[in-house]
Amino acid sequence: TIRREIMETTGCSASAGIGGTMLIARLATRVAKPAGQFHISAEKVAEFLDKLPVGTLPGVGSVLKEKLEKQNIQTCGQLRLISKDSLQKDFGVKTGEMLWSYSRGLDLRSVTAVQESKSIGAEVNWGVRFRDQRDIQHFLQCLCKEVSLRLQGCDMIGRTFTLKIKKRKKDAEEPAKY
């Protein structure tokens, strides 16, 4: 299978979600994790969405979720009972349209071909904490080695090197990770 091939080639597990729209496939992928596969047939979409929390929908962040919950809307099944006009009036034209469509499993986006990348890099932007200078040097060496291997794998040579360093504010809370 493709997932087994990915594991053998990269050492990384892969999950697969299968559905009639990008939205349904994406939601199915969440169920499939870790390292599984899940299919939502067209006949089962409404049943699957009925009990799905609205916060699970793409585009529904904490603020929108809170607004929906204030209207006693916790699931997509409850959301589906609200008219498109009401949703657009309460949340704006685009957001209302998105909520109405997604609660029905509708998604007008289409899958597009991935364009060839003109750059190669590696990025780590969450959860890295260094104790000392030695940790920093080791981390950067590993990161550079990874980029070098990726370049070699694509038979490319680098021209520009960019390093971004971000420092968490001293009294900032740990970031929420979805």
Tokens matching residue 108: 């007008």
Residue 24 lies in a domain: yes
Looking at the 3D structure of the chain, how many domains does it have? Answer: 3
pLDDT of residue 108: 86
Shared domain for 49 and 32, answered yes or no, is: no
- Among residues 144, 30, 103, the alpha carbon closest in space to that of 15 is found at 30
Residue 114 lies in a domain: no
Residue 118 lies in a domain: no
Shared domain for 65 and 80, answered yes or no, is: yes
Residue 28 lies in a domain: yes
Asked if residue 177 has pLDDT above 60, the reply is no
Shared domain for 51 and 92, answered yes or no, is: yes
pLDDT of residue 164: 82
Give the model confidence (pLDDT) of 52-94 as tens digits. Answer: 999 999 999 999 999 999 999 999 999 999 999 999 999 999 9
The structure's pTM equals 0.64
Q: What is the mean pLDDT of residues 117-125?
A: 79
Residue at token pair 């499939």: 32
Shared domain for 48 and 93, answered yes or no, is: yes
Domain that holds residue 7: 1-40
Residue 77 lies in a domain: yes
Shared domain for 92 and 140, answered yes or no, is: no
Asked if residue 178 has pLDDT above 50, the reply is no
Those residues with Cβ within 8 angstroms of residue 26's Cβ, 6 or more apart along the chain or in another chain: 17, 19, 58
**3-state DSSP helix/strand/coil percent for the chain, to nearest 5?**
50, 5, 50
pLDDT of residue 11: 84
Give the model confidence (pLDDT) of 3-55 as tens digits. Answer: 889 888 888 889 999 999 999 999 999 999 998 999 999 999 999 999 999 99
Residue 177 lies in a domain: no
What is the secondary structure of 113-162 as a DSSP string? PPPPPS-------SS---SSHHHHHHHHHHHHHHHHHHHHHTT-------
Residue 176 lies in a domain: no
Residue 170 lies in a domain: no
93 vs 99: CA distance, rounded Å: 10
The length of the chain, given as a count of residues:
178
87 vs 95: CA distance, rounded Å: 8
Q: What is the mean pLDDT of residues 111-131?
A: 79
